[in-house]
Amino acid sequence: MNKFSIANFKSGSSVHFIGIGGISMSALAEMMLYLGYKVSGSDRSDSEALSKLREKGAEICVGQRKENIKNPDLVCYTAAISEDNPELIRARELNVPVIERAELLGELMTLYKFPLAVAGTHGKTTTTSMLSLILLAAEKDPTILVGGNLPQIEGNYRQGKTDYLVLEACEYVESFLHFHPFLSIITNIEADHLDYFVNLNNIISAFEKFARLNSPLGHIIVCFDDKNIQSIVQNFGKNVVKYGIDAKNCEFVAENIKPNSKKGTNFDVLYMGKPFLSLSLNLSGKHVVYDALACVAAAVSLGIEKEAIKEGLESFTGTKRRFEKLGFFDGVEVVDDYAHHPTEIETTLKSAMEMGYNDVWCIFQPHTYSRTKAFLNEFAEALSLADHVIIADVYPAREKYDGTIHSCDLALLIDKGVYINDFGAIERYIKKNAKKGDLVISMGAGSVTEIGHNLVK
């Protein structure tokens, strides 16, 4: 079968998305509707994303059955869809061309002169959001696909009318190797997704391949404080632009980092050793400084004026599920966070512990059995930063329980940790024990977000 090409895919053709409600798939579906294609799709349960797609003209099915495949011209699926999915099987029986989400997104990138891709183990959504706001402030009218809901665009997708496209580049199953970036950002490289990658060296190799996909006319923006990134960019020469806080020989450096009155962060940016810009961000933590610094470097590489850089970054208030403040109950503040890797948990909890709350409560739902097993001790160490830790059952996502790991195993490694297997029971436990002036964080990439929202209702 010939490789799919968006250039040869006629307007008016039909595309069916298996798992259309996912944050990346729903954005892709919207994009295809905008480009003049007929869109249908299915997902396991109804959602706000599906309602939005229906309003825009997509034909949506709740539940995945072979009957949903009505001879479309193309079927798109995600890496989370298993080979025994009835719609995927039916599409192949009918000899309908089948394409993975990342491959379709890679093809759509070819329609833009300036596709900007943000990669890294952590920080992709925040960095993509910040860069998007800079482009909007500079009146570049970009098309945006972000892995979270960004308030300024009222969702995760915005259709622009220029040659600028900004998106996240995920390393899972090496999806980002289908991409064609003009400019790319690599925020950091750590071990993750070990259900697919053999080891850290395998991951580093994938990021090096991704860097090689960058246009020779654009730049590769990298955090040079990251040792694993240092190992892959030695042979890229003048195309590499480095940023950091501690490393030497960086074009962009952050200094004078300190908290501000907004519970955010102030810092100064040096460019080529000279004062360039002073920033006052709405979010706290060293990781936010790194993400903002990456965006400054990318924006300067694109020729964007410093006034637009400052305006864009200082207008960023976060995305949903990234230290998202949900409200209060009985004087207890509730925050929801997507952190599901030990480094992300450590970063989030360190920031929370410095914010002046009495006690910090963390309700953590591990994401996938393979990740929980691979990083069991690292999870325990990171979560131990909180004053109180509640561990919920593992959110399996694409995986099946094999009996080798359980949430109890994690809870037993945390001195202040308890395992509670029911969300309702967790909510009752928190309401009984959390006190005025405390902070409660519902944390994880799965359904744990329901707890935080229920607490403030």
Task: Kindly list the structural domains of the chain, giving each domain's residue range(s) and its CATH number in brackets, ordered by start.
Answer: 13-100 (3.40.50.720), 112-314 (3.40.1190.10), 324-456 (3.90.190.20)
Q: Could you tell me which of 339, 367, 319, 325 has the C-alpha nearest to residue 125? A: 319
Q: How far apart are the first and last CA of the chain?
A: 53
Q: Which helix (H) or strand (E) holds 83?
A: none
Phi/psi for 43 (5° steps) reads -150, 165
Kindly report, residue by residue over 345-385, the tens digit of the pLDDT. Answer: 998 999 889 888 999 999 999 999 999 999 999 999 999 99
Residue burial 67-90, b: 16+ Cβ < 10 Å; e: rest? ebbeebebbbbbbbbeeebbbbeb
Instruction: Name the token pair of 275.
Output: 């004062």
Pairwise CA distance, residues 376 & 388, whole Å: 18
Question: CB-based contacts of 41: which residues, under 8 Å, 6+ apart?
Answer: 16, 17, 18, 19, 20, 21, 25, 29, 53, 58, 59, 60, 61
> Looking at residue 263, what is its pLDDT?
75
Report H helices in 138-259: 200-212, 227-230
Instruction: Please report the pLDDT score of residue 423 as a whole number.
Output: 96
Task: Please provide residue 270's backbone torsions phi and psi, each rounded to the nearest 5 degrees.
Answer: -100, 135
Whether the Cβ atoms of residue 190 and residue 371 lie closer than 8 Å to each other: no
Q: Quote the pTM value.
A: 0.84
CA atoms within 13 A on the CB side of 157: 17
Q: Tell me how crowded residue 401 is: count the other CB atoms within 10 A of its CB.
A: 11
Residue 365 tokens read as: 């739902």
Residue ranges of the chain with pLDDT lower than 70?
Answer: 1-2
CA gap 291, 261 in Å, rounded: 20
> Please, are residues 14 and 40 in contact by the beta-carbon 8 Å criterion?
yes
- CA gap 289, 308 in Å, rounded: 17
User: What integer pLDDT is reported at residue 231 of this predicted model?
Assistant: 86
DSSP E strand boundaries for 86-163: 98-100, 114-119, 143-150, 155-158
d(CA 366, CA 410): 9
Res 441: pLDDT: 97
Tens of pLDDT along 304-328? 999 999 999 999 988 777 888 899 9
Q: Are strands 274-281 and 265-271 parallel, antiparallel or unpaired?
A: antiparallel
- Residue type at 188 in one-letter notation: N
CA distance 94 to 14: 15
Question: What is the set of active-site residues?
Answer: 124-125, 168
Residue 125 to residue 195: CA distance in whole angstroms: 22
pLDDT at position 2, please?
Answer: 65
Q: What is the pLDDT of residue 201?
A: 94
Q: How far is CA 451 from the centre of its chain?
A: 21
Do the beta carbons of residue 112 and residue 163 sit within 8 Å? yes
Residue 36 CA to residue 87 CA, distance in Å, equals 24
Quick one: pLDDT at residue 264?
87
Please, are residues 130 and 313 in contact by the beta-carbon 8 Å criterion?
yes
